[in-house]
């Protein structure tokens, strides 16, 4: 996390001055404030360690008086179709701004309702280790959950690992679920919460799943990037999700590869990688599975997509035809692996050698079609996904 503070005063009358300050002195924060003119803050993402452009930003603002301030993006394509999100409780919960304050592709406003009012503003709904610890606390004494450390990063942070099962029974399947290969893709963690909450419920279907499967979940693959507020996507010198060929340079990706020998071994297994796509446009503003060759592999992915399409119960819709990016379409080609293997490509290399299913799930930041994405319906989709995986296993 790169710390800074920026303070500006606006003279309103001879005796009254409005002042706004911005900072990034907390986990997950990211911004460059270019200037403040009159009542408008001009900002852009900090692209440190990033090759090219990306969109993640997250900062705190404090206004010393009740006032509407305007926030103008100096880079294009860094606001969602819903503008920005905000948190008034220190990042514990987030909501989208009132759409009357969504003033165009590069501009939004926020009204501070009182002296020294504080708000966090962001592209989406940020999620860091603090949020995870707050969530998992109520499950710590559950015998079905084992919390451990996958590895320690080069900066000394612990990469959390959750393993969930009925440990009194030898599992027939292993399921490996990863999240945050790209540090900015925070919406995946709300899906993780939905998955974990479902697995640790007393629903008979989940009890049955845990008798058949042992599930390992890595909530933060790029842990340093998550905590420091990096983009993560197209990271220099290597993207975490291109670090699965040759010798891995990151401790977390290396440790995930070792799970094949140390945990999965010769067992039958499933690999699911959770991501968030680009922020704007029809192709990105939807949930979708990412297909992979060969056809026999993609057939299994489509089978899971069809099960999910037929069984989902949450608010967010899913259609197996509209929500599937087949191999060879759009960016989903061999050119996407020129900088190294992704987790999906690495896990697919074990197809028919123990792996029966693998897929990347792309979950949007703001809109699923015309449906507004929230933390709660992201959790619901996580629940729908793990129930669909249960049905998939039942059909083996």
Catalytic residues, by residue number, are: 362
The answer to whether residues 176 and 272 touch, using CB atoms and an 8 Å cutoff, is yes
Residue 238 pairs in a beta bridge with: none
The answer to whether residues 240 and 248 touch, using CB atoms and an 8 Å cutoff, is no
> Exposed/middle/buried for 3, CB within 10 Å: 0-12, 13-18, 19+?
exposed
Q: According to the 3-state scheme, what is the secondary structure of the chain?
A: CCCCEEEEEEECCCCCEEEEEEECCCCCCECEEEEEECCEEEEECCCCCECCCCCCCEEEEEECCCEEEEEEECCCCCCECCECEEECCCCCCCEECCHHHECCCCEEEEEECCCCEEEEEECCCCCCHHHHHHHHHHHCCCCCEEEEEEEECCCCCEEEEEEECCCCCCCCEEEEEEECCCCCCCHHHHHHHHHHHHHCCCCHHHHHHHHHEEEEEECCCCHHHHHHCCCCCCECCCCHHHCCCCCCCCHHHHHHHHHHHHHHCCCEEEEEEEECCCCCCCCCCCCEEECCCCHHHHHHHHHHHHHHHHHCCCCCCCCCCCCEECCCCCCCCHHHHCCCCCHHHHHHCCECCCEEEEEEEECCCCEECCEECCHHHHHHHHHHHHHHHHHHHHCC
Q: How far apart are CA 86 and CA 82, in angstroms?
A: 12
């Amino acid at each position: 996390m790169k710390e800074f503070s920026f303070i500006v005063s606006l003279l309103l009358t001879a005796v009254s001055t409005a002042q706004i300050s911005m900072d990034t002195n907390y986990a997950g924060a990211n911004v460059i404030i270019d200037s403040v003119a009159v009542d408008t803050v001009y900002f852009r993402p900090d692209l440190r360690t990033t090759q090219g452009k990306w969109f993640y930003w997250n900062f705190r603002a404090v206004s010393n008086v009740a006032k509407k301030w305007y926030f103008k993006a100096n880079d294009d394509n860094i606001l969602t179709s819903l503008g920005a999100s905000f948190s008034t409780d220190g990042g514990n919960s987030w909501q989208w701004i009132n759409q009357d304050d969504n003033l165009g592709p590069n501009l939004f406003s926020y009204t501070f309702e009182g002296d020294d009012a504080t708000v966090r503003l962001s592209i989406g709904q940020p999620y860091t280790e603090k949020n995870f610890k707050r969530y998992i606390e109520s499950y710590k004494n559950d015998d079905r959950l084992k919390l451990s450390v996958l590895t320690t990063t080069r900066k000394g942070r612990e990469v959390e690992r959750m393993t969930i099962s009925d440990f009194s029974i030898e599992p027939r399947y292993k399921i490996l679920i990863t999240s945050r290969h790209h540090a900015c893709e925070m919406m995946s963690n709300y899906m993780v919460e939905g998955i974990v909450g479902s697995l640790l419920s007393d629903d008979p279907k989940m009890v049955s799943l845990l008798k058949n499967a042992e599930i390992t979940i890595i909530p933060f693959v790029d842990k340093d990037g998550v905590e420091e507020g990096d983009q993560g996507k197209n990271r220099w010198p290597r993207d975490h999700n291109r670090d699965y060929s040759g010798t891995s340079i990151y401790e977390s990706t290396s440790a995930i590869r070792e799970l094949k020998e140390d945990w999965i071994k010769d067992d039958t297994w499933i690999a699911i990688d959770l991501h968030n796509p680009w922020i704007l446009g029809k192709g990105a503003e939807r949930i979708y599975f990412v297909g992979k060759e060969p056809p026999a592999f993609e057939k299994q992915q489509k089978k899971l997509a069809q099960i999910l399409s037929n069984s989902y119960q949450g608010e967010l819709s899913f259609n197996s035809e509209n929500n599937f990016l087949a191999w060879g379409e759009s960016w989903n080609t061999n050119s996407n692996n020129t900088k190294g293997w992704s987790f999906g490509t690495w896990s697919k290399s074990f197809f028919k050698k123990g792996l029966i299913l693998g897929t990347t799930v792309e979950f949007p930041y703001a809109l699923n079609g015309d449906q507004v994405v929230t933390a709660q319906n992201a959790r619901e989709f996580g629940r729908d996904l793990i129930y669909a995986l249960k049905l998939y296993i039942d059909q083996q």
